[in-house]
Structure 1
Amino acid sequence: MLQRAAKGEISLNLPLFQTKYTADPAPLVVGDTLFLFTSHDASPEDIPDVNEKSSAGFFMYDWLLWSTTDMVNWTEHGAVASLKDIPWRSRENGAWAIQTVERNGKYYLYAPLHGHGIAVLKADSPYGPFKDPLGKPLVWDQSNWFDIDPSVYTDDDGQAYLYWGNPHTFYAKLNDDMISLKSEVTKLPHIKHYQEGPWIYGRRQGDRETGSYKYYLAYASTCCPEALGYAMSDSPTGLWEWKNYIMRPTLRDRGNHPGICDFKGHSYVFGQSYDLMHLDTFTHHERRSVSATEITYNEDGTIQEVPYWLDQEPVKQLCWLNPYQRVEAETMAWGYGLKSAKMGIENTGVVADMPTSTGKKNMYIFDINDGEFIKLRGVDFGNGAKKFNITAASTGSCKVTLRLDGQDGPIVGEAVISKTGSVEKYKAFNTKVTNASGVHDLYLCFSNTSGETRLDWWKFGN
């Protein structure tokens, strides 16, 4: 079934991203955009030690950023920061789970250096560049290795709290500068089934003005397999009372990590699985992928349990995609088999070769082969599109067939990308479009590929 889904034949609640393996989702809502920060499990070609390329272990060097306005079509922004941005790090592998929060127009990225404390990076934008303002750990108890999976929540009164810990739970109050502690570190009593990956947030139940305020601590439950559990409290510091699973343990998964947010009137939980890797192999490797689903709350504030990711319908689209504005090629609902990179940066996965945090840079799609496609959900063509433009660079050629509602759906246009002189030289390629009106899923299907082709952006016209 997974293989058929990858070919666009059936609809499942599949992982959100396919160009890279992802884990540890951390959502951040800014205006009408949801940003999702993730950790990054290296693909075999990105692992520097040739003897480890088939290893089942973790190989994690940087952190990634994605964004959406509709919950189904996601734009990739590449590596937002890497271990190289923390010069006092103790090892070249271990870019574990982060969380990024905003305060007073600044963005703070909290990162664990397992066994060496928790770092904080600061930026003027969610895209970075992120810089280390301290040059040392924000938190580091040298007596243990519990310093993992930081989560930050700012309460209505402006007080920010930093949570972390595996297999114990710790918290401390943050000062208004978000880069120093206001209180001593407190170790909480054991929370039922707690293992790691705390995610703390608050939410008012019932009436927005008079309803009771509840605090939530979601987490990965006792391994293995890990599930998504949660506890509740009347205070951001506890006492925390176990409530239930958000998603209960299943042998189809062995690890999980929650990220929860409210966005455009809906609540979403993000987690991880091995479903993307299972399109290629069921031999275990730590190559995870992030999924999401909507959650609902009962009148008492408890969260209704959800089934495993693949047992649910895909997330509902919140607004239609406008094809008459520039759409980056790395914006997609599905694009299995394709790769992406930032222009001008050869990010090999080796820490020594990584740039420090660059901020927002243009990206491109590459490694395009016959039979692959980019799917976009809910594209609103209105009264009808008449033309299609795509900007690309190529040392060979590639045919882009535009289809509606399926990989084998009706053809509304075909553009042929030809040689541009080099993969650094981008040109515009055009085609006429017919019979494309109303709202449809759009498939950019690739065939007749030769040489190397890189896609930058596309746009329809009328």
Structure 2
Amino acid sequence: MQRSTFATFFSSVCLLSLGSAFAADEKPLDDAAKTPGTNPIFTDRFTADPAPLVHDGRVYLYVGHDEAGPNEMFRITEWLAYSSDDMKNWTSHGPVMRPTDFSWAIRDAWASEVEEKDGKFYLYTTVEHDETDPGKAIGVAVSDSPTGPFVDARGSALVSNSMTKQASHSWDDIDPTVFQDDDGTAWLYWGNQILYYAKLAPNMIELDGPITAVGIAPYEEGPWIHKHDGTYYLTYAAIDRSVSDDEQIHYATAPSIEGPWIPQGMVTGSGKNSFTIHPGTVEYEGQWYLFYHDASLTVDGVEGALGRRAVRAEYLYHEPNGSLRAVEQTEAGLSVPPTP
């Protein structure tokens, strides 16, 4: 597979990281100038790669904290958690983990997702492995609380670069997402340019079968899975260059978690000022939502950019024929009622 524009750019950039201690940051967000529910959701800092989880009547949202400076592509040093019971007003729970909390990782708090099983919360995430297996890797951490702190559940990577050989670059093992099916079986999907999946063991911290590559095009990264009325939906970042040279959110459907996945087209176009876009879908109190990011936010005079993004949300609708309605990216976001 040919390397994307992003991949070529990535290979020439040095990524940096920080290792400061966790800060106490659990508080309701208070932005008097912002109407609750409008986009972007958080305006006091740059955030990216949203991953929602519904638990005990609340929506928890996990994001990477973008901190790139003027000459940096990415610097993401920690994962943050927020929660809401109305999808408009959010409470910040501060950092829940940093890459170096994995003893075998050295940097890069890239995209993550949290899944709950049997009262435990498992954070699946992307980090840079140390020199023993260099390249991007997937780690899994565990906590007794959705707001952490999370600790390494294995002491080693769940998926490392040496385990996948189909890509021509070292960052194909990124953007993990986990889907638990109706029978309780959990499945891990991930990948940049190549989409991989594998079954997880019942303990949620080991693979329970082979790693399989999925042939789906166009596909770039950021997979996310949900199920609705018996159909499996895979949303992901892809690039249709007839639309834009920046990523858009596309989707595919399947009758089974193992496919076959049939591409269905674009859900929403590129995010403003952003090469990347990253979907996360969730159902809460009977309504579906789509989270994503762009780079339209300015914080304290610092403008958004590739490594300074902002998380947003819109309503998501399944049409009677099983398709997903195209999503318009709006400033109003969830501050207005959903369409009946």
Residue of structure 2 equivalent to 1:66: 82
Residue of structure 2 equivalent to 1:25: 50
Residue of structure 2 equivalent to 1:217: 234
Residue of structure 2 equivalent to 1:140: 160
Does the residue aligned with 2:76 lie in a helix, a strand or coil?
Answer: coil
Q: Aligned in 2, Cα 1:139/1:171: closer, same or farther, shift over 3 Å? A: same
Residue of structure 1 equivalent to 2:18: none
Counterpart contact for 1:277–1:288, Cα < 8 Å: no
Residue of structure 1 equivalent to 2:22: none
Q: Aligned in 2, Cα 1:100/1:126: closer, same or farther, shift over 3 Å? A: same
Q: Aligned in 2, Cα 1:186/1:76: closer, same or farther, shift over 3 Å? A: same
1:102 CA displacement: 0.2
Q: Distance in 2 between matches of 1:85 and 1:139?
A: 17
Give every structure 1 segment of 4 or more consecutive aligned residues whose post-TM-superposition deviation is greater than 6 Å: 9-12
Does the residue aligned with 1:34 lie in a helix, a strand or coil?
Answer: strand
CA deviation string 1:266-300 (max 9, x = no partner): 00000001121388355745100100011111112
**What letter matches 1:119 in structure 2?**
G
Counterpart contact for 2:271–2:293, Cα < 8 Å: no
How many residue pairs get aligned? The number is 292
**What letter matches 2:80 in structure 1?**
L
User: Match for 1:199 among 201, 217, 224?
Assistant: 224
Q: Does 1:38 align with 2:58?
A: no
1:17 CA displacement: 0.7
Percent identity (aligned):
36
Q: Aligned in 2, Cα 1:175/1:9: closer, same or farther, shift over 3 Å? A: closer
Q: Does 1:123 align with 2:143?
A: yes
- Listed as ranges, the matches of 1:274-313 within 5 Å are 274-277=295-298, 280=301, 284-310=305-331, 312-313=332-333
1:139 CA displacement: 1.2
**What letter matches 1:73 in structure 2?**
N
Residue of structure 2 equivalent to 1:267: 288
1:31 CA displacement: 2.0
Residue of structure 2 equivalent to 1:108: 122
- Listed as ranges, the matches of 1:284-433 within 5 Å are 284-310=305-331, 312-316=332-336
**What letter matches 1:31 in structure 2?**
D
Gaps of 5+ in 2: 1-30, 129-134
**What letter matches 2:323 in structure 1?**
T
Does the residue aligned with 1:61 lie in a helix, a strand or coil?
Answer: strand
TM-score by length of 2: 0.80
User: Match for 1:182 among 208, 216, 220?
Assistant: 208
Does the residue aligned with 2:100 lie in a helix, a strand or coil?
Answer: helix
CA deviation string 1:413-459 (max 9, x = no partner): xxxxxxxxxxxxxxxxxxxxxxxxxxxxxxxxxxxxxxxxxxxxxxx
1:222 CA displacement: 1.9
Counterpart contact for 1:72–1:316, Cα < 8 Å: no
CA deviation string 1:122-175 (max 9, x = no partner): 111111121112111111241443100000000001110000000110000001
Q: Aligned in 2, Cα 1:258/1:74: closer, same or farther, shift over 3 Å? A: same
Q: Distance in 1 between matches of 2:34 and 2:227?
A: 40
Question: Larger Rg: 1 or 2?
Answer: 1
Q: Aligned in 2, Cα 1:11/1:66: closer, same or farther, shift over 3 Å? A: closer
CA deviation string 1:312-345 (max 9, x = no partner): 5543479xxxxxxxxxxxxxxxxxxxxxxxxxxx
Q: Distance in 2 between matches of 1:134 and 1:232?
A: 33
User: Match for 2:256 among 229, 232, 235?
Assistant: 235
Does the residue aligned with 2:53 lie in a helix, a strand or coil?
Answer: strand
Counterpart contact for 2:194–2:220, Cα < 8 Å: yes
Residue of structure 1 equivalent to 2:94: 78
TM-score by length of 1: 0.60
Does the residue aligned with 1:84 lie in a helix, a strand or coil?
Answer: helix
**What letter matches 1:172 in structure 2?**
A
Counterpart contact for 1:96–1:113, Cα < 8 Å: yes
Q: Aligned in 2, Cα 1:56/1:7: closer, same or farther, shift over 3 Å? A: farther
What value does the CA root-mean-square deviation take over the aligned residues? 2.3
Counterpart contact for 2:62–2:79, Cα < 8 Å: yes
Q: Distance in 1 between matches of 2:177 and 2:326?
A: 22
**What letter matches 2:146 in structure 1?**
P
